[in-house]
Structure 1
Amino acid sequence: METLDKFDVAILQELQNDGRLTNAELAQRVGLSAAPCWRRVRALEKAGFITGYRAELNREKIGLGVLAFVRLDAERNSGDALDRMEKAIRDIPQIVACHYISGSGTFELQVVAPDLAEFSRFAREVLIHLPNVKDLHTSFSLGEVKSGSALPLSHLSTRSTTTAKAVRT
């Protein structure tokens, strides 16, 4: 599956908006019958365009009122040291996102905790002791403006239209 057509893009958009749609509802929304829609969803999953389905939880409702952004500075930026650091980060559930970043620092983490006291304990007992950590710098979210957003797909519609026109010419 190299290119996406308008039906594939529509399927991706609808599933981002509501991953609980039945196949029949999805098919109706994108203008396909059920069987071809189901085959396309399976193909999108197999090709790696759809990587999973999950419920979005309200972190405050489940008692995780603190969201911290933690920049970790690495002692060494060598392959083995960074690999050990990445593995350790992946294994910690309180770290809900991690990005390898440019500029100062090495990793930018999003960390959740019930309160500031628990975050402080976690930073002192866990984060600072991760392999290869030289230093850490923390900022706290004072309120979310936007989170868990669907990815924009309009560039795919433009590209698939352009590709279709080129094929017809």
Structure 2
Amino acid sequence: MTHSITPPQALTATSVAPQLDRYDIAILGVLQRDARISNADLAAAIGLSAAPTWRRVRRLEELGVITGYRAEIDRRKIGLGVLAFVRVDCERDNAEAMRALEAAIRELPEVIACHYISGAGTFELQVLVTDLDAYSRWTMDTLFKLPNVKDLHTSFSLGEIKASAALPLGHLLASAELPK
């Protein structure tokens, strides 16, 4: 289950980051660990009363700092036993073909992350499938048929050391404003 928030003005990579104080940073830290926490428990955890805590959460949502809430699912318990890292090589000098490939990749549910990368390759995909046979079929039936794909290089996860969607927040503390 994913709940996305559509802020009126989402932050972009080139926009100025909002000023966050230690309470905002604390809210982000707590919500990354437990997005289902009640507002009263969140307020107690950060040392504020409930009303200003709720206003701060709403502000963080409106600024686009908090972009949504989701359930974390154990992929193995729902039969997705194979995590593959796939480097996709394609022609970079054809803008139209690149946009078509990007759009096609966005539509593939098996691709849980895609990054435009430097160095060898063009894209790095994280792909989840049930087993190696399913990956082989998916590659032949889907991935190789996408526009502008020249070659694939796949590595498989042999074991997860760390998997977290939580972002590091320590760098924010040094520049945090004091609460008003």
Q: Give your verdict on TM over 0.5.
A: yes
- Equivalent residue runs for 1:137-156 within 5 Å: 137-156=153-172
TM-score, normalised to structure 2's length?
0.86
SS of 2:77 mapped into structure 1: coil
**Paired residue for 2:32?**
16
Deviation, 1:118, is 0.5
SS of 1:160 mapped into structure 2: coil
- Give 5+ residue unaligned stretches, structure 2: 1-16
Greater helix fraction, Structure 1 or Structure 2: 1
TM-score, normalised to structure 1's length?
0.92
Identify the match of residue 46 of structure 1 among 62, 66, 73.
Answer: 62
Q: Are the equivalent residues in 2 in contact too, given 1:100–1:107 (CA < 8 A)?
A: yes
- Give 5+ residue unaligned stretches, structure 1: 165-169
**Paired residue for 2:8?**
none
User: Equivalents in 1 of 2:34, 2:28: separation in Å?
Assistant: 10
- Equivalent residue runs for 1:64-143 within 5 Å: 64-143=80-159
Deviation, 1:84, is 1.1
Deviation, 1:149, is 3.9
Task: State the number of aligned residues.
Answer: 162
Which string of whole-angstrom CA distances, capped at 9 and with x for unpartnered residues, describes residues 138-165 of structure 1?
010001001124111111011115xx5x
User: Equivalents in 2 of 1:114, 1:2: separation in Å?
Assistant: 41
Q: Which amino acid aligns with 2:126?
A: Q
User: Equivalents in 2 of 1:27, 1:82: separation in Å?
Assistant: 46
User: Equivalents in 1 of 2:106, 2:18: separation in Å?
Assistant: 30
User: Equivalents in 2 of 1:72, 1:133: separation in Å?
Assistant: 7
Q: Which amino acid aligns with 1:79?
A: A
Q: Which amino acid aligns with 1:31?
A: G
Q: Which amino acid aligns with 1:98?
A: C
Q: Which amino acid aligns with 2:164?
A: G
Q: Which amino acid aligns with 1:151?
A: L
Q: Are the equivalent residues in 2 in contact too, given 1:76–1:132 (CA < 8 A)?
A: no
Q: Are the equivalent residues in 2 in contact too, given 1:98–1:110 (CA < 8 A)?
A: yes
User: Equivalents in 1 of 2:175, 2:59: separation in Å?
Assistant: 19
User: Equivalents in 2 of 1:67, 1:87: separation in Å?
Assistant: 22
SS of 1:53 mapped into structure 2: strand
User: Equivalents in 1 of 2:143, 2:87: separation in Å?
Assistant: 10
Deviation, 1:39, is 0.8
